[in-house]
Each structure stands twice: as structure tokens, then as C-alpha cells.
């Protein structure tokens, strides 16, 4: 009697097969690719540091869906054939494991993925602040307090209603060239007291150096504010805003449409500034993120 051994796989072959499957799974997980009922999801970074932007790409079916992470919801947006969701990892989040859940437009929860958020190696910056400067940041004078309240309202209004469509079609650019004096996320100490985190990048440049719009958008604020001096905020759509502080001159007005690279103002040292520089920041959903992530944002 002849036994057909060809139909049975020897153990070593099964083991090789198993190794292959594990390797494939590791590659897929490593690149942040998963499958939601037939549609692939790609995540730009599964181990981001705090203060960074994560981009999630999915099939167009998910365009009206959302992502939930850390009890916050971020929408998927239609972008050509695909759906894209941006997830801002605030520098106030605690490092650790977070579950990322994909929800489709019918509210069905489909996929869960673990995002391991890392701590960031932010600089520490110490400033010696005299009384006059302190009055700009934390005024005691009632008139100045009233002005600060109005300034905050203006800034909040400038970031309140972003255009639904994105107004740009290429990655963001640096607004000028210069030496970085205080980087994004730096822990700020004013007279040795923990003040805040630095929500943008300070770029030193001589007074009068032209400042370019990081990307195409619409000006939602162009005003002289107490703490930040002459300030511009641009709405780029999708709840992304760029801001330019301490300018010596404003070259745009609220409502102006600006092109990427267009001169919008000149470097100065207005407001609370120890020397001429541009404070440049980018926010998504009112969360400030490392502007470099927008410079590298290819959508």
C-alpha cells in the first residue's frame, strides 16, 4: 500500500510558515498598517513623542468617520480617494499607551490600535523678567488686565471657525531663515517659576526681515496685542492655524487671502520679547504642535 506523504507538511515547513506569518504581521504593525473590514488604514507614527502630529490615512469610505483617542474625537476628512485624520498629541498628555479607535459614519467601532506615546526631550529655558515685562504677561494694572481679556477674546475668535476645506496643496514652509533661539515645547521658567511650555519656535532675525506665510490661507487676526505684540493668525482650513508674533509691521489685514510664501509682515520685538525674533506656531484643533510636522506634512 502506498502512503501519500506529499499531502502532509513536515513540521519544519509549518514552522517556517509560522515564522513568515509572524514576520509579515510585525512588518504590517511596524509600518502602522491595519485592516478595517477590507479597507487599509495607515498610521504615520505608532510611537510619537508628545507635541507631535499623527496622520491616519484610510479608504474614502471612512471620510465621515472619526478616530477616538484619549476620550477625544478627531474627524476623518475626504481627501481625494482617501480619508485623512489628523491627531494632535498635545504636549500636556502623559506618555504611555493609548487606544486608537476607528469609528465609521454609522457609529460602528471597527478597529483598535495601541499608540505608545513617548516623552519628549524638550529644552528648558530660563528668562529673567523685570516688572515692566511681567506687566505684559501677567498685568496687575486694571486697564491692562482688561486689554489682555480683550486680546484673548480676539485670539480665540481668530481660531474659532476654520474653513471646512483645506486651503493649501503643498507642505508648509518656514516663514524665514534664522537661528532658533527657543525651540518648540521648551519648558519656560520666568524668574525660576514654571510659566508654561513654548508653543512655537523662536527664530532670531534682524528687525525688518520679511516674514512669509507658511502656507495658503485666510488672515483671521492682524492686530497689536499686549503680550504678543503685532500678531498675525492665518486659517489654513481643517482647523489648522499658523501664528506669527512680535512683528514690527503688519502687511495684511483680517479677511485677506494669502499665498504660501507671501510677505505678511516684518520681524520685530513688539510685546513680550527680549530681542528681535519671530515666534512661529502651528495648531490643529487648538493644540499647538511642532511646526516641523507641518513642514513635512505631505497630503
What is the spatial distance between Cα 195 and Cα 189, in angstroms, rounded to a whole number?
Answer: 5
Helical segments of the chain, H only: 11-30, 131-137, 142-158, 292-295
CB of 266 vs Zn ion, minimal distance in Å: 17
Nearer residue to Zn ion within complex by CB, 18 or 194: 194
- Considering only the stretches 48-56, 143-151, 273-281, 283-291, report the one whose residues sit in contact with Zn ion under the rule CB under 5 A: 273-281
Among 104, 113, 151, 202, binds Zn ion (CB under 5 A): 202
- Interaction between residue 77 and Zn ion (CB under 5 A): no
CB of 182 vs Zn ion, minimal distance in Å: 6
Q: Cell numbers 499647538 label which residue?
A: 288
- Interaction between residue 235 and Zn ion (CB under 5 A): no
What is the spatial distance between Cα 201 and Cα 196, in angstroms, rounded to a whole number?
Answer: 14
Nearest Cα residue to 211 out of 169, 260, 257: 260
Nearer residue to Zn ion within complex by CB, 159 or 166: 159
User: How many binding residues for Zn ion (CB under 5 A)?
Assistant: 2
What is the spatial distance between Cα 132 and Cα 119, in angstroms, rounded to a whole number?
Answer: 35
- Considering only the stretches 95-103, 156-164, 202-210, 233-241, report the one whose residues sit in contact with Zn ion under the rule CB under 5 A: 202-210
CB of 114 vs Zn ion, minimal distance in Å: 34
User: Could you give the count of Cα atoms lying within 13 Å of 266 in the half-sphere of its Cβ?
Assistant: 7
CB of 181 vs Zn ion, minimal distance in Å: 8
Angle at 80 between CA 78 and CA 86, to 5 degrees: 45
- Considering only the stretches 24-32, 50-58, 156-164, 201-209, report the one whose residues sit in contact with Zn ion under the rule CB under 5 A: 201-209
CB atoms within 10 A of CB 15: 11
CB of 187 vs Zn ion, minimal distance in Å: 13
- Interaction between residue 279 and Zn ion (CB under 5 A): yes
Q: Quick check: helix, strand or coil at residue 195?
A: strand
- Interaction between residue 104 and Zn ion (CB under 5 A): no
- Interaction between residue 290 and Zn ion (CB under 5 A): no
CB of 200 vs Zn ion, minimal distance in Å: 6
- Considering only the stretches 40-48, 206-214, 274-282, 286-294, report the one whose residues sit in contact with Zn ion under the rule CB under 5 A: 274-282
Q: Cell numbers 507631535 label which residue?
A: 52
CB of 198 vs Zn ion, minimal distance in Å: 6
Long-range contacts of 97-100 (CB under 8 A, 24+ apart): 98/69, 98/70, 99/69, 100/43, 100/56, 100/67, 100/68, 100/69
Nearer residue to Zn ion within complex by CB, 87 or 158: 158
- Interaction between residue 190 and Zn ion (CB under 5 A): no
Nearer residue to Zn ion within complex by CB, 67 or 289: 289
Q: Which helix (H) or strand (E) holds 243?
A: strand 240-247
Question: 19 to each of 10, 31, 291, how far by Cα in Å?
Answer: 15, 18, 41
Q: Spell out, one character per residue from 150 to 189, where the chain touches Zn ion: x when CB under 5 A holds, - when not.
A: ----------------------------------------
| Residue ranges in contact with Zn ion by CB under 5 A | 202, 279
Amino acid at each position: 500500500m502506498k502512503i501519500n506523504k506529499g499531502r502532509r507538511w513536515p513540521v519544519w515547513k509549518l514552522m517556517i510558515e509560522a515564522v513568515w506569518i509572524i514576520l509579515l504581521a510585525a512588518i504590517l504593525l511596524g509600518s502602522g498598517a491595519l485592516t478595517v473590514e477590507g479597507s487599509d488604514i495607515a498610521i504615520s507614527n505608532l510611537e510619537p513623542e508628545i507635541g507631535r502630529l499623527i496622520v491616519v490615512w484610510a479608504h474614502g469610505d471612512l471620510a465621515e468617520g472619526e478616530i477616538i483617542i484619549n476620550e477625544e474625537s478627531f474627524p476623518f476628512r475626504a481627501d481625494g480617494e482617501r480619508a485623512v485624520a489628523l491627531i494632535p498629541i498635545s504636549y500636556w498628555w502623559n506618555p504611555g499607551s493609548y487606544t486608537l479607535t476607528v469609528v465609521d459614519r454609522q457609529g460602528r467601532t471597527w478597529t483598535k490600535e495601541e499608540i505608545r506615546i513617548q516623552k519628549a526631550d524638550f529644552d528648558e529655558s530660563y528668562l529673567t523678567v523685570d516688572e515692566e515685562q511681567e506687566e505684559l504677561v501677567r498685568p496687575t494694572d486694571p486697564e491692562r488686565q482688561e486689554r489682555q481679556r480683550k486680546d484673548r477674546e480676539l485670539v480665540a475668535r481668530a481660531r474659532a471657525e476654520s474653513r471646512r476645506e483645506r486651503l493649501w496643496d503643498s507642505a508648509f514652509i518656514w516663514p524665514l531663515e534664522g537661528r532658533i533661539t527657543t525651540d518648540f515645547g521648551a519648558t519656560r521658567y520666568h524668574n525660576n517659576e514654571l510659566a508654561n511650555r513654548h508653543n512655537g519656535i523662536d527664530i532670531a532675525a534682524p528687525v525688518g526681515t520679511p516674514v512669509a506665510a507658511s502656507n495658503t490661507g485666510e488672515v483671521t487676526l492682524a492686530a497689536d496685542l499686549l503680550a504678543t505684540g503685532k500678531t498675525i493668525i492665518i486659517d489654513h482650513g481643517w482647523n489648522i492655524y499658523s501664528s506669527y508674533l512680535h512683528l514690527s509691521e503688519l502687511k495684511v489685514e483680517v479677511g485677506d487671502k494669502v499665498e504660501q510664501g507671501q510677505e505678511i509682515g516684518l520681524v520685530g520685538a513688539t510685546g513680550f520679547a527680549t530681542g528681535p525674533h519671530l515666534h512661529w506656531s502651528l495648531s490643529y484643533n487648538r493644540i499647538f504642535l511642532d511646526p516641523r510636522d507641518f513642514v513635512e506634512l505631505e497630503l
